[in-house]
């Protein structure tokens, strides 16, 4: 089956983040210092993404928290526009930096002039364990005033309207809120979410499913047909929806087009991507049980099962060419305190 061209791409400028959300499938956090993407590298990859697809590529900028390095972020936007690479589809943020109306408005105007089409703001109970809710509210209000409502995307608006600073809740209320929210099923259970949210869900009484229940569904669409990828500062390319599965790596002498061609040619034979494309996570069970994996009785979803198997393989040093970045699978780097008192 041919792999669809990658026509939507997120550049992960950094994995560093001033929050450390339980829902973060990339396991961003203050401890993630690796794979910072330089301005030059971002522009080169952006250009390669457009050249690699007959349909071009719409790029968004993400992290981690890309506003932690504002000079880099605005330089990437400005130089991409000058080089004719745009349009820049979106810049994503947790809004923790939006502590002041004047500073936030000034940055939004600069991004607007530099060609940003949309601003993406994260707001949910996991973010509001770390980021005071008045900050995403401020940024959304200013964004709507300066850019127009259609150019401001909030995940999720219902929470932004009714939410609160979750760290102020007492423990039973906090647990009840997080369990209720996990049951909405808005978050894909990969990376840190595959640890924390999946456990919350099962503990909150979600029925869970056995590996046999989950065996019948392949993951061809998510891996080969979705057209959406992320690329990090080390050049690792991962599917937009499946954090931790490496499709290829760009770098000196190896472009996005080279990587896509190789993926198109040999994905069937790759131990991880090939097995998942054919049979979903159950297709990995043979590999994993041979390496000592003992399935649990229940999983919250097939992505939870997939994450659990991949984590087992990666921690045993197996299939690391297809499982990365290493820090995603490393428990030291993937674990955070329940709430961080930054900038409060
Ligand atoms: S089960 Fe794995 S490969 Fe399939 S969609 Fe979920 S994370 Fe992606």
In the sheet that holds 58-62, the strands lie side by side as: 152-155, 116-122, 88-93, 58-62, 8-12, 228-232, 236-239, 248-249
* 16 domain residue, yes or no: yes
Mean pLDDT in the chain? 93
The full DSSP string for 242-281 is STTB--EE-BTTB-HHHHHHHHHHHGGG-HHHHHHHHHGG
pTM above 0.85, yes or no: yes
The full DSSP string for 12-50 is E--SB-S---TT-TT--BTT--S-PPPHHHHHHHHHHHH
pLDDT tens digits for range 267-285: 999 999 999 999 999 899 9
CATH number at residue 176: 3.20.20.70
342/340 Cα distance (integer angstroms): 6
279/210 Cα distance (integer angstroms): 15
Give 253's contacts (C-beta < 8 A, 6+ positions apart).
Answer: none
Closest-CA residue, ligand 1 atom 8, reads 242
pLDDT tens per residue across all 344 residues of the chain: 789 999 999 999 999 999 999 999 999 999 898 999 999 999 999 999 999 999 999 999 999 999 999 999 999 999 999 999 978 999 999 999 999 999 999 999 999 999 999 999 999 999 999 999 999 999 999 999 999 999 999 999 999 999 999 999 999 999 889 888 888 889 889 999 998 888 878 887 888 889 888 877 899 999 999 999 999 999 999 999 999 999 999 999 999 999 999 999 999 999 999 999 999 998 999 899 999 999 998 999 999 999 999 999 999 999 999 999 999 998 554 456 555 444 33
* 272 domain residue, yes or no: yes
CA atoms within 13 A on the CB side of 291: 16
Does ligand 1 come within 6 angstroms of the Cβ of 280?
Answer: yes
148/143 Cα distance (integer angstroms): 7
* 3 domain residue, yes or no: no
Pairing of strands 248-249, 236-239: antiparallel
| Cβ–Cβ < 8 Å for 6, 52 | yes
Measured in residues, the chain has a length of 344
* 2 domain residue, yes or no: no
Does ligand 1 come within 6 angstroms of the Cβ of 275?
Answer: no
CB atoms within 10 A of CB 181: 22
Task: Tell me how far the alpha carbon of residue 85 lies from the centroid of ligand 1, in angstroms.
Answer: 31
Task: Tell me how far the alpha carbon of residue 222 lies from the centroid of ligand 1, in angstroms.
Answer: 7
Does ligand 1 come within 6 angstroms of the Cβ of 90?
Answer: no
Give the domain range for residue 121.
8-343
Ramachandran angles phi, psi of 318, nearest 5°: -100, 140
End-to-end CA distance of the chain: 51
| Cβ–Cβ < 8 Å for 24, 335 | no
Alpha-carbon Rg for the chain in angstroms: 20
Q: At what angle do helices 70-82 and 101-113 cross, to 10 degrees?
A: 20
Closest-CA residue, ligand 1 atom 6, reads 303
Q: Is residue 203 classed as helix, strand or coil in its secondary structure?
A: helix
Give 13's contacts (C-beta < 8 A, 6+ positions apart).
Answer: 36, 37, 42, 61, 62, 63, 64, 66, 69, 72, 73, 76, 233
- Ligand 1 atom nearest the C-alpha of 222 is 5
pLDDT tens digits for range 151-183: 999 999 999 999 999 999 999 999 889 888 888
CA atoms within 13 A on the CB side of 68: 23
* 236 domain residue, yes or no: yes
C-alpha separations of 188 from 13, 64, 81, 223 in Å:
21, 17, 33, 14
Considering only CA atoms, which of 301, 317, 331, 291 is closest in space to residue 241?
301
Task: Tell me how far the alpha carbon of residue 296 lies from the centroid of ligand 1, in angstroms.
Answer: 18
Does ligand 1 come within 6 angstroms of the Cβ of 242?
Answer: yes
Does ligand 1 come within 6 angstroms of the Cβ of 276?
Answer: yes
Q: Can you read off the two tokens belonging to residue 156? A: 């999720």
Does ligand 1 come within 6 angstroms of the Cβ of 57?
Answer: no
pLDDT for res 214: 82
Considering only CA atoms, which of 3, 115, 90, 8 is closest in space to residue 55?
8
Closest-CA residue, ligand 1 atom 1, reads 303
Tally of domains within the chain: 1
192/181 Cα distance (integer angstroms): 16
Task: Tell me how far the alpha carbon of residue 171 lies from the centroid of ligand 1, in angstroms.
Answer: 32
| Cβ–Cβ < 8 Å for 2, 221 | no
pLDDT for res 344: 38
């Amino acid at each position: 089956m041919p792999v669809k061209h990658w026509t939507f791409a997120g550049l992960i400028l950094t994995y560093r983040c001033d929050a450390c959300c339980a829902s973060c499938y990339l396991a961003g956090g203050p401890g993630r210092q690796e794979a910072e993407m330089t301005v030059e590298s971002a522009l080169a990859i952006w250009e390669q993404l457009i050249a690699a697809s007959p349909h071009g590529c719409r790029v968004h900028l993400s992290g981690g928290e890309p506003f932690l390095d504002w000079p880099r972020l605005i330089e990437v936007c400005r130089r991409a526009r000058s080089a004719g690479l745009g349009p820049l589809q979106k810049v994503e943020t947790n809004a923790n930096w939006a502590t002041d109306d004047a500073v936030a408005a000034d940055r939004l105007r600069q991004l607007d002039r530099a060609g940003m089409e949309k601003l993406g703001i994260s707001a949910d109970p996991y973010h509001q364990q770390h980021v005071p809710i008045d900050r995403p509210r401020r940024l959304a209000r200013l964004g709507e005033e300066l850019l127009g409502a259609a150019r401001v995307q909030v995940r999720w608006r219902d929470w932004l309207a009714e939410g609160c600073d979750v760290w102020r809740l007492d423990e039973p209320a906090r647990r009840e809120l997080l369990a209720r929210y996990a049951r909405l099923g808005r978050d894909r259970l990969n990376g840190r979410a595959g640890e924390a949210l999946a456990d919350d869900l099962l503990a909150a009484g979600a029925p869970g499913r056995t590996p046999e229940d989950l065996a019948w569904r392949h993951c061809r669409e998510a891996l080969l047909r979705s057209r959406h990828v992320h690329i990090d500062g080390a050049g690792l390319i991962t599917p937009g929806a499946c954090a931790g599965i490496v499709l290829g790596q760009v770098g000196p002498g190896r472009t996005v087009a080279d990587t896509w061609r190789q993926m198109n040619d040999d994905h069937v034979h790759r131990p991880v991507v090939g097995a998942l494309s054919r049979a979903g996570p159950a297709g990995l069970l043979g590999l994993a049980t041979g390496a000592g994996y003992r399935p649990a009785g229940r999983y919250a979803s097939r992505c939870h099962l997939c994450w659990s198997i991949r984590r087992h393989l990666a921690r045993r040093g197996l299939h690391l060419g297809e499982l990365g970045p290493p820090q995603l699978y490393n428990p030291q780097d993937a674990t955070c305190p329940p709430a961080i008192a930054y900038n409060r």
